[in-house]
Chains A and B, each alone.
Chain A
Amino acid sequence: MSTPAESPRTLVVERVFPHPPEKLWRALTESQLLAQWMMSNDFEPVAGHRFRFRTDPKPNWNGIVDCEVLIVDPFKSLSYSWGVGPGEAGLQWVVLWTLTPADGGTHVRMEQSGFRPNQQAAYQGANYGWQKFFGGLERVLGGLV
Chain B
Amino acid sequence: MIPSSFTYKRAGSAQEACDLAAEYGEDAKYLAGGHSLLPLMKLRLAAPEVIIDLGGLRDLSYITDQGSHVAIGALTRHHDVEHSELLGRGVPLLASAAGQVGDPQIRHRGTIGGSIAHADPASDLPAVLLALDATLIAQGSDGSREIPIGAFFEGLFETVLEPGELLTEIRVPKPAAGARGWSFQKFTQRAIDWAIVGVAVQGRQVALVNMAGTPLRAAAVETALAGGASPADAAAHAAEGTSAASDIRASRAYREHLARVLVSRALTEAGSRG
Partners in one complex: no
